[in-house]
Structure 1
């Protein structure tokens, strides 16, 4: 089962901090969380302050990292099959996913421990830019893969 990953984070750098994370499964099941206690506005680039932060949904989506990790691990464990994480930005999104998915040095049993780079897969796109909201972007990335392409994987 492929899960399409997208993250929003503080800036394009090695010190990026996770703001929000979303997964959209091939079967349509979704996961979305915003982190409350891993970043501050002063950590963010101007782009993130202007474009990303105003799109955060808050409410029940906003959680401290401990609750967010538990929710992510519960979501991943709810699948019976091996999960393949697909992302268009493995150098950022995969690393941030790993930080949230590792729990006391333990990796989720049904998740492959390496990502699939979405840019290496055949995809269809109308060329529209992503809106820079983790869940909306993950939905768009998932929709770029045709049914026949998904069945090949």
Structure 2
């Protein structure tokens, strides 16, 4: 099963901190979380402050890191088959996904421990311009690779 991953984070640097994470599966199931902690507005680039932060949904999606991790691990555990995580930004999105998925010295048993770079795949359709919202972007990326 393929899971299409997208993240929003504080800035394009090695010190990037996760703001939101989304997974969209081939069968259409979705996970979207926004982190309430682990980052501050002062950590964000001007681009993130102007474009990303105003698009956050809040409400039921906004939660502390510990709750976001639980939600992610519960979502991943609902699949019996091996999960292939596909992202168009493996340097950032994959690393941030790993920080959330790797817990208490354990990796989720059904998740490959390496990403697939979406830019190496042949899309079945053209993607729309990504709006810089993790869930909306993940939906667009998933749609590019569905038959």
Name the TM tier (shorter chain).
over 0.9
Alignment check: 8 A CA contact 2:7 2:22 kept: yes
The ranges of structure 1 where at least 4 consecutive aligned residues each deviate by more than 3 angstroms after the TM superposition are 124-128
Shift of 1:60: 0.8
Cα RMSD, aligned residues only? 0.9
- 2:17 aligns with 17
Shift of 1:146: 3.2
Number of aligned pairs? Answer: 147
- 2:109 aligns with 109
- 1:150 aligns with none
- 1:65 aligns with 65
- Range with greater deviation from structure 2 (54-63 or 125-134): 125-134
TM-score (norm 1): 0.94
TM-score (norm 2): 0.98
Aligned residue for 1:129, secondary structure, equals coil
Shift of 1:129: 1.7
- 1:37 aligns with 37
Alignment check: 8 A CA contact 2:127 2:141 kept: no
CA distance in 1, matches of 2:33, 2:94: 15
Structure 2, gaps ≥5 residues long? none
CA distance in 1, matches of 2:125, 2:44: 29
CA distance in 2, matches of 1:93, 1:127: 18
- 2:118 aligns with 118
Go from structure 1 to structure 2 and tell me whether the alpha carbon gap of 1:127 and 1:77 turns closer, same or farther (over 3 Å shift).
Answer: closer
